[in-house]
Structure 1
Amino acid sequence: MVFDKQLDVFWHIIDPIHFMIYATTYIPRTIFKLISRGEYAPFFSIPLFKDAWFATFWSRVGPEMRENATPRAGPLIEQARGVVLDIGPGSGEWLKLFDKSKITKIYGAEPNRDHHAALQKRIKEAGLEEIYEIAPVGVEDLGDKWVGKGGVDTIVTIQCLCSVPEPKKMIEELYSYLKKGGIWVIYEHVVAYKHQGKLMKWYQAAIDILWPHFLGGCSITRDTVRWLEEAGEWTNVDLYQPDDEPSYHVVPHTMGVLTK
């Protein structure tokens, strides 16, 4: 029993390193895909190549991640209602979880165009063609072209706040789009919790030096919970760590719903 616990701790500790190594195996197929499509610009731009690499990697890994997280994130996404801002939908792994009977319109803010083909495919598979519109921009460029400030009933952020630029500023910007009484549905990985100890925080910070370069700019040390709570006034904040996550989980999550 003790050995099994030690083994479990070991695998949790090295899992982020293993995941980064696994991501590198998608570099050759990314190169092949770009050449076969005649897309050569990414070979002369590190950011563009990283975007193409991550899109290739996530098209394979994303569905698996969705399946693993569905028991947690699914019931949250099903609460989305009215006009919805779906932030960073990527290739659309979560779209089947929306309850169409509660929704009038969904704007999917996805600036990485390498995801758009897969996203459009999953929009169709989920039967959302009539209500889902891709906004090919980041939150900072939403403006009033898609939806105005105070015009959103639901904001959905599922494993995306880890990779957006200037996350604190973006969270404050998103808060302004939410109606009074609107909800913010969240399932994100965050900086290590206090109860995990300083050693875990230091290890997580060390991993995060390399992690963003392998995972599309994602960071695992963002203080997302605090930034959300400080974004503005909330009538209710119901955020919590999943019960099944052990204290030695290097990439812990927060999940729940905030009500404006």
Structure 2
Amino acid sequence: MFEKYMDVLWHLIDPWHFMCFSASYLPVTIFNLLITLQFSVLLSPSKLKDAWFARFWGRVGPETRENAIPRVRPLISQARGVVLEIGPGSGEWVNLYDKEKVTKVYGVEPNRDHHELLRRRVKEAGLSDIYEIVPVGVEELGETWVGMGEVDSIVTIQCLCSVPKPKEMINALYGYVKEGGQWIVYEHVVTHHGRFIAAYQALVDIPWPHFLGGCSITRDTEKWLRASGRWSKVDLQQPELEPSYQVIPHVMGILTK
């Protein structure tokens, strides 16, 4: 029983510990910008926040990825045909695609700061001939790259928690999935396990986006995905090893049109 109480306590404290760890990267970010004379970044709160998060995530991102791979690999390996990967960032997941199944991957990443490393990782994964970086937002997709009803697989891995207007984006993306196509999901979501955890999660989510690059942990992404259109099959669930008192829970699985 004592171990259970300690586990609950750790899950309640852990988000604050993680934010403190993020905060520890702010002074060194400011110092680096000063010595490199990047005063325009220092004077812009949004640019400073981006630089701070980039430095922090450069340290913890790889570790976070390794922890998530046992869950994410089986999902991404099911991607097939023409794929829309939303928010690939620096390409943390590109080496998990099954090259025997995918014919084309459009990596929708409007942040050009990520493109150099994304290209490098695409090359390392052996996908240079089929992976195309799309440097625009979802709202501009259909103008040049891919049309409605032409996508076999959409992949969203921990990106819908930080994009602006996620509900509108989800509804727009549904139209790109062809009949029989699929949406592969691994995302942070709002908890549905009791009023206390919900209230506590809402409290954590007040400072959380400022320390974690705009990520919000209280978005009802699963509900929005289910309601985005007519799905023939929905297989979404919280990962087995996440307890009901998880303050930062995920939803994972596949929706089939």
Q: Shared fold (TM-score greater than 0.5)?
A: yes
Which of the numbers 234, 239, 243 marks the counterpart of 1:237? 234
TM-score (norm 2): 0.94
Deviation at 1:5, TM superposition (A): 1.4
For residues 1-260 of structure 1, the aligned pairs below 5 Å read: 2-34=1-33, 39-193=38-192, 196-260=193-257
Q: 1:122-177 CA deviation, whole Å, 9 max, x = no partner? A: 11221111111221222123232221221211100011100010110000011011
- Segments of structure 2 that go 5 or more residues without pairing to the other structure are none
Q: Confirm or deny: 8 A CA contact 1:51 1:114 kept in the other structure.
A: no
SS of 1:101 mapped into structure 2? coil
Report the CA distance shift for 1:98/1:202 in structure 2 as closer, same or farther (over 3 A): same
- C-alpha separation between the residues in 1 aligned to 2:28 and 2:135? 25
SS of 1:11 mapped into structure 2? helix
Deviation at 1:117, TM superposition (A): 2.6
CA RMSD of aligned residues (A): 1.6
Q: Which moved more, 1:45-54 or 1:181-190?
A: 45-54
AA aligned opposite 2:218: T
TM-score (norm 1): 0.93
Report the CA distance shift for 1:30/1:150 in structure 2 as closer, same or farther (over 3 A): farther
- C-alpha separation between the residues in 1 aligned to 2:98 and 2:182? 15
SS of 2:29 mapped into structure 1? helix
Deviation at 1:33, TM superposition (A): 4.9
- Segments of structure 1 that go 5 or more residues without pairing to the other structure are none
SS of 1:248 mapped into structure 2? coil
Percentage of matched positions with identical amino acids: 63
Deviation at 1:116, TM superposition (A): 2.3
AA aligned opposite 1:61: V
Q: Confirm or deny: 8 A CA contact 1:55 1:114 kept in the other structure.
A: no
Q: Which moved more, 1:98-107 or 1:144-153?
A: 144-153
SS of 2:105 mapped into structure 1? strand
- C-alpha separation between the residues in 1 aligned to 2:191 and 2:84? 27
SS of 1:142 mapped into structure 2? helix
SS of 2:129 mapped into structure 1? coil
Deviation at 1:30, TM superposition (A): 3.0
Report the CA distance shift for 1:97/1:27 in structure 2 as closer, same or farther (over 3 A): same
AA aligned opposite 1:96: N
Deviation at 1:34, TM superposition (A): 4.3
- C-alpha separation between the residues in 2 aligned to 1:38 and 1:140? 36
- C-alpha separation between the residues in 1 aligned to 2:74 and 2:30? 38
- C-alpha separation between the residues in 2 aligned to 1:104 and 1:65? 28
Q: 1:19-67 CA deviation, whole Å, 9 max, x = no partner? A: 1111112223433554566644322221222222222222222211111
SS of 2:11 mapped into structure 1? helix
AA aligned opposite 2:212: L
Q: 1:91-146 CA deviation, whole Å, 9 max, x = no partner? A: 21111111111111111112223322322221122111111122122212323222
Report the CA distance shift for 1:227/1:139 in structure 2 as closer, same or farther (over 3 A): same
- C-alpha separation between the residues in 1 aligned to 2:14 and 2:162? 19
Deviation at 1:227, TM superposition (A): 0.3
AA aligned opposite 1:236: K
